[in-house]
């Protein structure tokens, strides 16, 4: 039955196609209404046949829906490739420097009018070239504070290493705030600064106000301290050359470079390996702004000295606390100590000065020049009579400072010297002892 209907449909379709083909070949066109009629009839026939065919089909099982996986479609928005973050580009330079810290006199520190002080910076070599002692720290602008135009670096500094550079300065005599700026200069005379750009400076920045006076003089007050070694307490003042060690005041001692820079406190440890001498001073009340200042080094011509300077303090019966420690050998130089004591403001403090031998104590003549507590004052310093110690010790050309020389305990270096084997037996002791013409001066510390 179904077959017959499809056959009839095929015949009708063929007839329709034949009619359309003939109409195309016939010069007289078929009216539009006749063509529409043919299309309508064909459509109705096809529709009836499809409806009947569906009605006569046997109902079968309903197909199970199939889960279709989605097909990836193009991303509706553009995809961007992540860009790595920008990295800091390190520019490698031969000469490059960084400021580390102010070791002394940080920005805004107060100094007195006309005060001599030492500014110390710690700087780091962040370049690829080693700084030699032919490199200088050079003044470039601002207040010069009476300094030299350039100061050589104290030692060679390799890449990645730091160094402390010190410059002695003198404050102006007028109150105000002052600043002086400095850069480095290499061995070829080329200036370079600090920071990544190499243009920054390091500088001194201080306020000048009042005067600096001596709040306490450790050399003049030598016998305010109890001096002792490992074995015993020592007399004060001591006897130069004593194997037990000694502490004396020298009015005009020569430092390693042969120059005199003020009154000195000369200390020598007990004459044994790793011997020492220590002096603990009576308590001093510290004020805000006080500083411990001194120059340290070996006595002139003490060529074999090798020792440690040590500075400590004590409050009441508390344990000793360190303020600083410095190793010293004879190399023709001296070093400034300048320590801010403001953190001890209002405290009664005992200061302890110590010299320790590095091994042999031979010629360990430790010299503290103008050791004092420096203090700011609204009034200028007034000259005060120099305290006279009994006896007053003055270095003389005949003084022999070697461990091999034995001094008679009664010998004192005063204007009324007692004749000894070092002098001719005939002269009478006078205020000006005369040495024998045949005596050969020894090459000893403290000599001219």
277 pairs with which residues across the strands? Answer: 355
Per DSSP, the three-state class of 86 is coil
Which three-class secondary structure state does DSSP give residue 223?
helix
| pLDDT tens sequence for the chain (448 residues) | 545 555 666 666 665 665 555 454 444 444 444 445 544 554 555 455 444 444 444 444 444 444 444 444 444 444 444 544 544 444 578 999 999 999 999 999 989 888 889 999 999 999 999 999 999 999 999 999 999 999 999 999 999 999 999 999 999 989 899 999 999 999 999 999 999 889 999 999 999 988 889 999 999 999 999 999 988 999 999 999 999 999 999 999 999 999 999 999 999 999 999 999 999 999 999 998 899 999 999 999 999 999 999 999 999 999 999 999 999 999 998 999 999 999 999 999 999 999 999 999 999 999 999 999 999 888 888 764 444 333 333 333 333 333 333 333 333 333 333 333 333 333 333 343 434 333 434 443 444 3
Tokens of 370: 């103008």
Q: Which residues pair with 177 in a beta bridge?
A: 207
Neighbours of 55 (CB within 10 A): 7
C-beta of residue 373 within 8 angstroms of C-beta of residue 289: no
Q: Which helix (H) or strand (E) holds 307?
A: strand 306-315
Torsion 300-359-236-290 (CA) sign: positive
- CATH code at 211-448: 2.60.120.200
Rounded CA separation 17/31 (Å): 17
Cα–Cα distance measured from residue 185 to residue 244, given in angstroms and rounded to the nearest whole number: 49
- pTM for the whole structure: 0.56
pLDDT at position 77: 42
165's torsion region: left (phi>0), alpha (psi -120 to 50) or beta? Answer: beta
Q: Are strands 202-208 and 109-111 parallel, antiparallel or unpaired?
A: parallel
Distance of CA 237 to the CA centre of its chain: 41
Bond prior to 391 in cis (omega within 30° of 0): yes
Q: In 60-106, which residue ranges form alpha helices assigned H by DSSP? A: none
**Check whether domain 97-209 has CATH 2.60.40.10, yes or no:** yes
CB-based burial, 358-374: b 16+ in 10 Å, e otherwise:
eeebbbbbbbbbbbbbb
Under 8 Å between Cβ of 127 and 94: yes
DSSP states along 321-368: EEEEEEEEE-SS--EEEEEE-GGGTT-EEEEEEEEEESS--TT--EEE
Distance CA(232)–CA(242), nearest Å, equals: 13
Q: How far is CA 81 from the centre of its chain?
A: 44
Q: How far apart are the C-alpha atoms of 448 and 253, rounded to whole Å?
A: 10
Q: Which long-range contacts (CB under 8 A, 24 or more apart) does 192-197 make?
A: 192/95, 192/96, 192/97, 193/97, 194/97, 194/98, 194/99, 194/123, 195/98, 195/99, 196/91
Distances from the Cα of 108 to the Cαs of 115, 155, 204, 207, in angstroms?
Answer: 15, 29, 9, 6
């Amino acid at each position: 039955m179904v077959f017959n209907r499809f056959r009839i449909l095929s015949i009708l379709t063929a007839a329709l196609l034949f009619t359309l083909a003939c109409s195309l070949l016939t010069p007289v066109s078929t009216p539009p209404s006749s063509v529409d009629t043919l299309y309508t009839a064909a459509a109705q026939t096809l529709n009836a046949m499809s409806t009947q065919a569906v009605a006569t089909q046997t109902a079968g099982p309903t197909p199970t829906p199939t889960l279709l996986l989605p097909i990836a479609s193009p991303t509706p928005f553009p995809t961007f490739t992540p860009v790595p973050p920008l990295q800091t580009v390190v520019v490698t330079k031969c000469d490059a420097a960084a400021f580390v810290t102010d070791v002394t006199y940080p920005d805004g520190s107060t100094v007195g009018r006309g005060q001599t002080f030492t500014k110390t910076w710690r700087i780091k070599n962040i370049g690829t070239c080693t700084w030699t002692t032919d490199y200088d720290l050079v003044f470039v602008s601002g207040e010069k504070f009476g300094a030299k135009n350039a100061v050589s670096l104290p030692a060679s500094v390799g890449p990645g290493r730091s160094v402390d550079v010190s410059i002695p300065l003198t404050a102006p005599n007028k109150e105000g705030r002052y600043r002086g700026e400095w850069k480095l200069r290499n061995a070829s005379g080329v200036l370079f600064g600090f920071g990544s750009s190499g243009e920054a400076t390091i500088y001194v920045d201080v306020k000048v106000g009042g005067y600096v006076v001596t709040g306490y003089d450790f050399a003049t007050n030598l016998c305010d301290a109890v001096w002792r070694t490992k074995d015993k307490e020592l007399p004060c003042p001591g006897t130069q050359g004593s194997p037990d060690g000694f502490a004396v005041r020298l009015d005009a001692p020569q430092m390693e470079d042969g120059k005199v820079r003020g009154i000195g406190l000369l200390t020598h440890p007990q004459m044994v390996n790793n011997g020492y001498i220590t002096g603990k001073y009576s308590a001093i009340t510290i004020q805000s702004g006080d500083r411990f200042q001194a120059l340290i080094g070996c006595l002139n011509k003490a060529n074999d000295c090798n020792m440690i300077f040590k500075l400590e303090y004590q409050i009441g019966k508390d344990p000793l606390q360190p303020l600083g420690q410095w190793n010293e050998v004879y190399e023709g130089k001296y070093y400034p100590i300048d320590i801010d004591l403001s953190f001890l403001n209002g405290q009664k403090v005992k200061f302890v000065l110590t010299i320790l031998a590095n091994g042999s104590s031979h010629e360990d003549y430790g010299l503290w020049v103008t050791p004092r507590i420096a203090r700011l004052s609204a009034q200028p310093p007034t000259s005060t009579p120099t305290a006279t110690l009994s006896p007053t010790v003055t270095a003389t050309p005949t003084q022999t400072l070697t461990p091999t020389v034995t001094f008679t305990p009664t010998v004192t270096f005063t204007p009324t010297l007692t004749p000894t084997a070092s002098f001719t037996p005939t002269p009478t002791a006078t205020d000006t002892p005369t040495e024998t013409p045949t005596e050969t001066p020894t090459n000893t510390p403290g000599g001219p």
